[in-house]
């Protein structure tokens, strides 16, 4: 099928093809913008009843999805049917899908994965709040644009009535990403989409699908009955908390899953919060990449699943289930050398506790006094002269039995120090050596900040004090409004984003933000470089837009005909009806296309009040057009009317342009005619 037009849209070229139809690049002539047109073509053999039901469901679902306005969802502009072909006109976007980043050799850094999943989760939460379930979340339907914005595509596409789980290539949606309830044909809610998003998250983190197989039946069995391996088995850079997140996201029972995408992305952010910045920003480790590739190719034995690993941590094995591979009767290396391994573990543990403290004591006993120089002439650790001349006179020392105490200084001087979320009275961090947890040491001064994630062991093994260089804060800040959908301007420039959206803001720069949304008053605020950055971030998460007051306009309907009322391209009602409009000036157009009536007026609306402007509309006369020879087409004001002779055609009074085209040779004549109400105007032409 290669149509030249679908509805009002002019087809430019085909840009994609799938099992259920085609995708075209098209032009919307009304506003001269490019759109993507997706068609739905039913497979051969579909009964007339199935075709009718599919078309009806398609139109209903597409119309529902068309109400979704979110910066991370592809906008649907129109939906229709022509020549037995149902189609959706939607936002045309250019980017790349996440499919590119689901292979072991191209997995993204963890920070980027976290950001993309957060955007997708936000879009799904918004859709679910509007009672829309996507049902086909997979990497191919998640597209990343040039600026890093993720868009969820294919909301509202109809499902094939003949979809069969055993027919490869017919099922809409890959079984690897489908929830158990979707495979079983049960009722779906938003948690089904979140299961699919969990599969995508697993794949982005590891380069391996959690449920894969050589046949659809194998994949379906694994989705329904098997648990995937822990993601950390594929990517050693992942913190253990990610295992619990994906275990919850991929739970077979939807009641045990995340209720919202926001909960899942929040847990993921918390899991990654303790990782060093270099771990978050670097690509998939090479060794893990090779191991994942080998596992994806089936060259290594399967390890414990997420649930098996959890059960082992608790000292239990699921009742009635066989031991996993690798627990055969023949003892392994650990069983044969248990005494040696235990001895090594004890020695290593004692060394980790005693050695740092012993080194610290030796350094204190042997090192030069503060201010002296070491034997090679360099400033000794802890002497004035380190860190660009900032005083670093106190070395990390044991602050008591089993405790490490380290002083903190900042560049420039005077930064306030926090340990995690607790402000410190003096710039000194004290931790128990028995505490294995990494803590955030935060230094702040005005709009500058530094963060170091360190354990007690890290501090104990360091020499000198901890010097933190404060740098201007540049953070991804969420801008959200109630209601959503407001256009965001930063420093007077349109960002191209609608709330809710994430913007990168510099803490040490003055900035002004403006939100604009139709029917609401403009919101604006300015922030100085020395303002509280955290307070600003919190305030931008909950901006309340104030609606513009509404007034009413009533325009009396002419006795002889109806009039549609437009504001711009939007039809807002009919003459004779009460029209609710926001306070201010509005340009309204009154149209009756059949009678060639088009009158434009400007009205002033006051909030809370009604106005009834006195407008005069043309009367109705008639038009007769005759031609010799008579094989001619007649156009009035550029619109085709009929072939000659045109007899007493109803038309509004006033001036009109009549064009007559002789069909055999294309010759044409154009005349101006004045129509009087209640009278017939005659036009005669000869060729």
How far apart CA 415 and CA 427 sit, in angstroms, is 9
Beta bridge partners of 431: 404
Q: How far is CA 684 from CA 215, 624, 638, 666, 673, in A?
A: 75, 8, 18, 17, 11
Q: How many whole angstroms from its chain centre is CA 140? A: 14
How far apart CA 73 and CA 500 sit, in angstroms, is 12
> Contact, 226 vs 203, CB < 8 A?
no
Phi then psi dihedrals of residue 239, to 5 deg: -70, 155
How far apart CA 106 and CA 99 sit, in angstroms, is 10
Q: How many CB atoms lie within 10 A of CB 523?
A: 17
How far apart CA 87 and CA 24 sit, in angstroms, is 10
Beta bridge partners of 403: 400, 432
- One-character DSSP codes across 261-283: HHHHHHHHHHHHHTS-HHHHHS-
Residues of 241-253 as b/e, b for ≥16 C-beta within 10 angstroms?
A: bbbebbbbbbbbe
> Contact, 506 vs 533, CB < 8 A?
no
In 285-411, where does DSSP find H-type helix?
Answer: 286-296, 306-313, 333-336, 338-366
Q: Is 212 a known active-site residue?
A: no
Q: Which of 136, 227, 407, 458 is catalytic?
A: 136
> Contact, 238 vs 205, CB < 8 A?
yes
How far apart CA 341 and CA 172 sit, in angstroms, is 53
CA angle 195/196/198 to nearest 5° reads: 65
> Contact, 466 vs 441, CB < 8 A?
yes
> Contact, 110 vs 272, CB < 8 A?
yes
In 3-state terms, what secondary structure has residue 345?
A: helix
Find, among 496, 491, 540, 492, the residue nearest to 511 by Cα: 491
How far apart CA 96 and CA 603 sit, in angstroms, is 47
> Contact, 590 vs 563, CB < 8 A?
yes
Look at the chain and count its residues: 687
By the 10 Å C-beta count (0-12 exposed, 13-18 middle, 19+ buried), 365 is classed as exposed
Q: How many CB atoms lie within 10 A of CB 281?
A: 12
Find, among 459, 452, 456, 443, the residue nearest to 396 by Cα: 459
By the 10 Å C-beta count (0-12 exposed, 13-18 middle, 19+ buried), 179 is classed as buried
Tokens of 433: 């050596």
> Contact, 571 vs 564, CB < 8 A?
yes
How far apart CA 244 and CA 252 sit, in angstroms, is 14
Instruction: Tell how many helices (H) and how many strands (E) occur in the chain.
Output: 14, 40
- One-character DSSP codes across 134-198: -S--SGGGEEEETTS-EEE--TTPPPPTT--TTSTTTSSS-GGG--HHHHTT----HHHHHHHHH
**Residues classed as catalytic:** 136
């Amino acid at each position: 099928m290669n149509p030249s037009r679908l509805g009002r849209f002019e087809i430019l070229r085909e840009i994609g093809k799938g099992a259920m139809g085609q995708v075209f690049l098209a032009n919307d002539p009304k506003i001269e913008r490019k759109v993507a047109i997706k068609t739905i073509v039913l497979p051969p053999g579909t009964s007339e009843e199935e075709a009718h039901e599919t078309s009806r469901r398609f139109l209903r679902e597409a119309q529902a999805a068309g109400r979704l306005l979110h910066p991370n969802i592809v906008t649907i502009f129109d939906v229709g049917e022509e020549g037995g072909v149902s189609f959706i006109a939607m936002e045309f976007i250019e980017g790349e899908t996440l499919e590119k980043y689901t292979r072991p050799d191209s997995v993204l850094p963890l920070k980027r994965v976290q950001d993309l999943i957060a955007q997708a989760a936000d879009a799904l939460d918004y859709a679910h709040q509007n009672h829309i379930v996507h049902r086909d979340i997979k990497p191919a339907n998640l597209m990343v644009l040039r600026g890093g914005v993720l868009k969820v595509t294919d909301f509202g596409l109809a499902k094939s009535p003949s979809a069969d789980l055993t027919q490869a290539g017919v099922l809409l949606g890959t079984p690897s990403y489908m929830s158990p309830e979707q495979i079983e044909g049960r009722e779906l809610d938003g948690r089904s989409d979140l299961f699919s998003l969990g599969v995508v998250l697993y794949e982005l983190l590891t380069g391996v699908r959690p449920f894969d197989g050589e046949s659809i039946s194998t994949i379906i069995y694994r989705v329904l009955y098997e648990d995937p391996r822990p993601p950390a088995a594929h990517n050693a850079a992942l913190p253990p908390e990610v295992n619990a997140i994906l275990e919850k996201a991929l739970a077979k029972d939807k009641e045990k899953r995340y209720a919202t995408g926001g909960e899942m992305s929040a847990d993921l952010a918390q899991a990654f919060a303790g990782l060093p910045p270099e771990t978050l920003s670097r690509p998939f480790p090479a060794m893990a990449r090779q191991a994942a590739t080998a596992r994806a190719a089936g060259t290594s034995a399967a390890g414990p699943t997420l649930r098996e690993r959890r059960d082992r941590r608790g000292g239990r094995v699921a009742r009635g289930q066989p031991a996993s591979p690798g627990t055969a009767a023949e003892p392994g290396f650990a069983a044969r050398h248990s005494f040696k391994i235990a001895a090594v573990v004890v020695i290593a543990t004692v060394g980790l506790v005693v050695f740092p403290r012993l080194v610290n004591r030796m350094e204190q006993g042997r090192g030069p006094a503060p201010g002296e120089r070491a034997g090679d002439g360099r400033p000794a650790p802890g002497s004035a002269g380190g860190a660009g001349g900032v005083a670093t006179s106190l070395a990390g020392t044991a602050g008591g039995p089993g405790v490490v105490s380290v002083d903190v200084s900042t560049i420039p001087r005077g930064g306030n120090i926090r340990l995690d979320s607790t402000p410190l009275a003096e710039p000194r961090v004290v931790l128990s050596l028995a505490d294995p947890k990494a803590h955030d040491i935060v230094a702040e001064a005005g709009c500058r900040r530094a963060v170091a994630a360190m354990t007690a062991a890290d501090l104990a093994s360091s020499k000198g004090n901890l010097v933190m260089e404060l740098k201007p804060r540049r953070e991804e800040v969420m801008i959200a409004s109630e209601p959503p959908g407001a256009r965001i301007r930063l420093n007077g420039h349109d960002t191209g984003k609608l709330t809710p959206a994430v913007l990168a803001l510099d803490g040490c720069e003055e900035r002004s933000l403006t939100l604009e949304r139709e029917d609401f008053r403009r919101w604006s605020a300015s922030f100085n470089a020395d303002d509280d950055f955290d307070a600003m971030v919190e305030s931008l998460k909950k901006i309340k837009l104030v609606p513009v007051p509404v007034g009413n306009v009533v325009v009396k309907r002419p006795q002889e005909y109806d009039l549609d009322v437009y504001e711009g391209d939007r039809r807002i009602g009919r003459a004779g009806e009460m029209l609710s409009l926001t306070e201010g000036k509005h340009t309204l157009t009154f149209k009756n296309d059949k009678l060639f009536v088009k009158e434009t007026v400007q009205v002033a609306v006051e909030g809370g009040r009604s106005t009834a402007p006195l407008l005069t509309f043309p009367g109705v006369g008639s038009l007769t057009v005759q031609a010799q020879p008579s094989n001619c087409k007649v156009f009035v004001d550029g619109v085709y009317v009929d072939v000659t002779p045109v007899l007493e055609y109803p038309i509004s009074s006033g001036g009109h342009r009549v064009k007559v085209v002789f069909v055999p040779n294309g010759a044409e004549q154009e005349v101006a005619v004045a129509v009087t109400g209640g009278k017939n105007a005659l036009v005669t032409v000869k060729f």
